[in-house]
Amino acid sequence: MEEVNGMKQNGIRAKIVGTGSFVPDVAVKNKELTDIIGIKDAEWIYKNLGIEERRFSATLDKMTGQVVTRNITDIDLAHEAAIRAIQDARLSPEQINGLWYVSCTQNPEKHHHFSQAAIELHDRLGLGVDAFANEIDSGCGGVMQAIGISNDMIKGDDKANILIVASNQPSWFIDRELYVATHNWLSIYIFGDGAGAVLLQKAEKTNKGIVSSYYGADGSNPLMYYRYKDRGNHPVYEIDAKAVKDLFPVLMKRSLSGLRKKYRFELDEIKRFYFHQANRWILEGFAEFLEIPLERVAINVDKYGNLSAASTLVLLDEDIKEGRVKKGDLLLFCAVGAGAQYGAFLVRL
């Protein structure tokens, strides 16, 4: 058996065998959005958030600031990313033993319960009846939970292939009057639409795969709230910007510390860092604190906005497809999100 940090391991690892991502074609620049919402300006968004544009799948009426067309759904985004990951892994849907679907932006009109969205995605992908389907409604930190649980399942159960899909579609919820009246306009500027997916496969006698993972939760400050305001069933995503700014580095450091207690490593061993894309300046500030060169930190928040749980998976897929990371590279993932939930994992491609 393999020995890691003095502890015997069973020699089984969850290996990344496929990745996929999908973002809508329509790029919404800062000025276009501020002209519709009427709060702040394009320069303010870039100066404070480091975002230049984001992708939306819904179309906003320039006069009313409400959504006028919804051509695709959250599950459509997830389905496209999942299909690409399955194809990348050269597997058939029948070979997948389980699905984690991470999202907090499912269509509110459907009132999702009982992992209904995960079940719908399971059905659309054509997964077998023996494959589980579970939903994680925890936003930005959700993928760290899903990866960590899947890694544990693969090492200790009979699961051979587990698919993790994360999707974010905040454009469905935009309503200028409601978000401005409740002082939650910042959420409109921060978040973007997109989905990412990764396929984990059981592997034996290999140094590749998930080396170690850590995940946790702290309910003392939720960071974000999902509230219904004044218009029946229309929800509002309310972000506590000060809490995010203050607690992001604290909880990220907690995640890295938890990971390092399980597996010793040095930051200079890491080829590429995948941190949650809260906003560009918070992200760069954390990298500076860790004394990591920015060229080793994957960033897409400037062009996609904050994609919530999907952000790190989209970054990984694009880096692999564009050759920035290759087989054998050691990668570090770390994220913090609503709840607060947080976690990190170390993987060798």
pLDDT in tens, 176-191: 999 999 999 999 999 9
Query: Residue 326 burial by CB count (10 A; 0-12/13-18/19+): exposed, middle or buried?
Result: exposed
What is the rounded CA–CA span in Å between residue 193 and residue 170? Answer: 6
pTM of structure: 0.94
Same domain, 147 and 129: yes
Q: What is the DSSP letter of 32?
A: H
Same domain, 232 and 192: no
Specify the pLDDT at position 5: 44
Same domain, 178 and 240: no
pLDDT mean across residues, the chain: 93
Specify the pLDDT at position 10: 55
What is the rounded CA–CA span in Å between residue 82 and residue 197? Answer: 5
Same domain, 21 and 157: yes
180-236: pLDDT as tens digits: 999 999 999 999 999 999 999 999 989 999 999 999 999 998 999 888 766 556 788
Specify the pLDDT at position 310: 98
- Domain assignment present for residue 46? The answer is yes
What is the rounded CA–CA span in Å between residue 185 and residue 166? Answer: 24
- Domain assignment present for residue 8? The answer is no
Same domain, 161 and 58: yes
Same domain, 29 and 173: yes
How many separate domains does the chain show?
2
Domain that holds residue 66: 15-204
What is the rounded CA–CA span in Å between residue 219 and residue 180? Answer: 27
- Domain assignment present for residue 133? The answer is yes
76-116: pLDDT as tens digits: 999 999 999 999 999 999 999 999 999 999 876 665 677 89
Specify the pLDDT at position 226: 85
- Domain assignment present for residue 224? The answer is yes
- Domain assignment present for residue 1? The answer is no
Question: Which residue is associated with the tokens 């004044």?
Answer: 230
Q: What is the DSSP letter of 223?
A: S
Query: Helix, strand or coil for residue 60?
Result: strand
CATH number for the domain that contains residue 328: 3.40.47.10
Same domain, 163 and 219: no
- Domain assignment present for residue 228? The answer is yes
